[in-house]
Structure 1
Amino acid sequence: MPTSAPTNMAANLSADRLLKVARYIEAHAQDKLTLQQLAQMVELSPSYLQRQFKQAFGVSAKAYQDAIRLGIYKQTLQASNATSEAIYAAGFGSTSRVYGVPGRNLGMSPKAYQKAGQGQVIAYAVCNTKLGKLAMAATDKGVCFAQFGDSDAALIEAIHREFKAATIVPSDNQNSPLLAAWINALNQHISHGDDKPNLPLDMRGTVFQIQVWEFLLQLPPNATATYSQVANGINKPKAVRAVASACAKNTIGVLIPCHKVLRSDGSLGGYRWGTDRKQALLRNDASLQQTASPAS
């Protein structure tokens, strides 16, 4: 068609300009950048740049800069003893720029992130379920770990590996009076088909990972979603692979229901604790719905 070559040229030109903007943001993440400034740099209108950038990258130019800054902040925080130094090195300008913006969340406090849980006491318990051994661990904020494993020793080792600097203790009435009830409630759900318990969670991950996990927590008990639907649901339609990665890194199994995420063709896809368990959990969800449905 006669218009195809000009259209392709225009598309390539637009892509080149968007990449130029992205690279500029990466190189100047600590600086104060405005949409007007970025648009002038590539000779586009601010509104057009805003639409095209979000369509190409799944986030606005501002959100892209914030993500780069947050990466710098985390790296500096882990390498430094000063939270304030990390904040200013990343270009946030003040503590309120990190803590005061909704949705900008490390998934844990800066000090806890920096020290890998140092100073925290994490209690754990292990039980037998019909899907194998299950370990649960919790901080004073809520459940931070729920995983299947082959043995008590392997699960306890996994908890220590996940929270290297924390004090890990077995559950007792002094350290964790609620943990025994929590793990029993989860086992009743897994092994006997009771409703999934609504327990407090201490989620630890990147901003993106927590967005994915929070989306999954909103799914109805009998619902599933594809990786693409989750990506669309958090307004990042191009981040399908990143959604799969976030599911794979979920450390709070079943309670954060990553088993509900399927491939676009309806097949199971992967699961951190094995596809047999994934299928069993999905059957469990389906049976709960059938039990709850009124007789026709």
Structure 2
Amino acid sequence: MTQIRTLTDDERWQIAMAKDRRFDGAFVTGVHSTGIYCRPSCPARAPLRKNVKFYATAEDAEAVGLRACKRCSPNTQSAEEACVLAAIAAIRADGAMTLDQLADLTGYSPTHFQRLFKRTVGLSPAAFARALREEKVRGALEGGASVTDALYEAGYSAPSRFYAETKGKLGMTASDWRDGGKGRVVHWSVVATSLGDMLVAATEKGVCCLAFNEGEEELRARFPKAELVEAGAEFRALFDQVVAAVEEPSSDNSHIPLDVKGTAFQQRCWQALREIPAGETRSYGEQAAMLGNPKASRAVGSANGANNIAVLIPCHRVVPASGGVGGYAYGPGIKAELLKRESEG
């Protein structure tokens, strides 16, 4: 069985000693001498290491008879978390709210609230509002709205504002979202690898799909209105780089250009995946903590599942906190082999 690396207990202990709130929600610290469990950031005096065990969730800790710490309330929302959730609800209702207005709403100074919001969500309030507007545009476009209507309904004062905010990070344009890739040319090929046949597809901007045991039919479902063209010699060098990244997944593949289609949140999740070093893994909770929102593990799992570009966006590096390889769109055998190759690289 392949040995999967997640955070070790020694690493969890160091996190708890540092009271690192970024890992709140990724695990809880059980103190068996007192019978309580805490957040990693709990401000209480540090227990003796011999009395501590770590658990993936509050439910796991309670299952062995531990009770929640009354000081850090690991099974409830803190006052700060409640304020952030209130601000998120206000931004969703009225994306035009200023930082001063949000601070007044929550009772914090603007500077402190800005730090609190970014620490919890991973984005500033202004960046979060922009991300919401972008996702509203995508939803409207995919529902058949015109580009102009979608942009104005999402709160953009002019189409130029949308393109200025999303330039360089979406890959596909607003029209591409609405039209399912209409007007785009996707070059594709099925190539043989030691893990089985692999579908590779790319636009002129970069790789847009990498999948095992799929072909033209599946690619058509992913890009229903794009023009699909079997890749010619001009894509051979790029596709050779992709095959090399699969055969030796421990090597750096950041030089391979990607053309990704996803919401702002999905793209943040995928970027977090690319920041996990080869040979290491993370749980969904740990990946969520990387994004500054340790309670978003379910949303992170959904975003990982929407990833069209296997290996290059390495969703195989996320495994269950309880152990084992876990699920994978192309089967646990391929996932285990990729992890084995990375750990041996």
Q: TM-score, normalised by structure 1?
A: 0.76
Distance (whole Å) between structure 1 residues aligned to residue 195 and residue 293 of structure 2: 34
**Which amino acid is 2:192 matched to?**
N
Tell me if 1:161 matches 2:221.
yes
* Pairing 1:12-23 to 2, within 5 Å after superposition: 19-23=85-89
* Offset, 1:255: 1.7
Mark the CA change 1:47 to 1:280 in structure 2 (over 3 Å): closer, same or farther. same
Query: In structure 1, which of residues 16, 24, 27 is the aligned counterpart of residue 90 of structure 2?
Result: 24
Structure 2 spans left out of the alignment, 5+ residues: 1-69
8 Å CA contact 1:39, 1:49 repeated in 2:
yes
What SS does the aligned partner of 1:128 have?
strand
Structure 1: gaps of 5 or more residues: 289-296
Question: Of 52, 62, 80, which aligns to 2:145?
Answer: 80
Q: CA deviation at 1:185?
A: 4.0
Is 1:209 the counterpart of 2:259? The answer is: no
TM-score for the superposition, normalised by structure 2:
0.67
Which residue, out of 276, 290, 300, partners 1:243?
A: 300
**In the alignment, which residue of structure 1 is the partner of 2:130?**
66
The residue that corresponds to 1:187 in the other structure is 243
Structure with more relative contact order (C-alpha pairs < 8 Å, separation 6 or more): 2
Structure with greater helix percent: 1
- In 1, Cα distance between equivalents of 2:302 and 2:151: 27
- List per-residue Cα deviations over 1:149-171 (Å, max 9, x = no partner): 1xxxx521110000000011222
Distance 1:285 1:164 in 2: 34
Give yes or no for contact 1:216–1:256 (8 Å, CA) kept in 2.
yes
Q: Distance in 2 between matches of 1:100 and 1:93?
A: 12
Residues 208 and 157 of structure 1, relative CA distance in 2, 3 Å threshold: same
Q: Which amino acid aligns with 1:199?
A: I
Q: Report if the CA contact (8 A) 1:134-1:147 is conserved.
A: yes
Q: In the TM superposition, what is the alpha-carbon distance from 1:100 to its structure 2 partner? A: 3.0
Identity of aligned residues (%): 33
- State which drifts further: 192-201 or 107-116: 192-201
Counterparts of 1:133-148 in structure 2, within 5 Å, are 133-148=197-212
Aligned pairs for 1:122-141 (under 5 A) are 122-141=186-205
* 8 A contact 1:142–1:200 mirrored in 2: yes
Q: Which amino acid aligns with 2:172?
A: M
In the alignment, the residues of structure 2 paired with residue 112 and residue 191 of structure 1 have an alpha-carbon distance, to the nearest angstrom, of 32
Q: Cα–Cα, structure 1 residues 235 and 181, in superposed 2: closer, same or farther, change >3 Å?
A: same
Contact 2:152–2:158 (CA<8 Å) still a contact in 1? Answer: yes
> Is the CA contact (8 Å cut-off) linking 1:128 and 1:134 kept in structure 2?
yes
User: Given that residues 57 and 238 in structure 1 are in contact (C-alpha distance below 8 angstroms), is that contact kept between their aligned partners in structure 2?
Assistant: no
1:265 and 1:109, CA in 2 relative to 1: closer, same or farther beyond 3 A?
same
Paired residues, what number? 270
Please say if residues 226 and 266 of structure 1, whose CA atoms lie closer than 8 Å, have aligned partners that are also in contact: no
Rounded Cα–Cα distance in structure 1 between residues aligned with 2:272 and 2:112: 29
Amino acid at match of 2:267: I
Report the Cα distance in structure 2 between the residues aligned to 1:160 and 1:250, rounded to whole angstroms: 16
Match of 1:280 among 337, 342, 345: 337
Aligned counterparts of 1:142 and 1:266: Cα–Cα separation in 2: 35
For 2:122 and 2:275, how far apart are their aligned partners in 1?
Answer: 21
Q: Is the 8 A contact 1:135 1:155 kept in 2?
A: yes
**Equivalent residue, structure 2, for 1:293:** none
CA displacement 1:21-73 (0-9 Å, x = unmatched): 433322223xx311222333455543454455556655443334323322322
How far residue 206 of structure 1 moved from its aligned partner, in angstroms, is: 1.2
CA deviations on 1:89-114 (whole Å, 9 max, x unpaired) are 21122345323347994442112112
Q: Distance in 2 between matches of 1:236 and 1:12?
A: 14
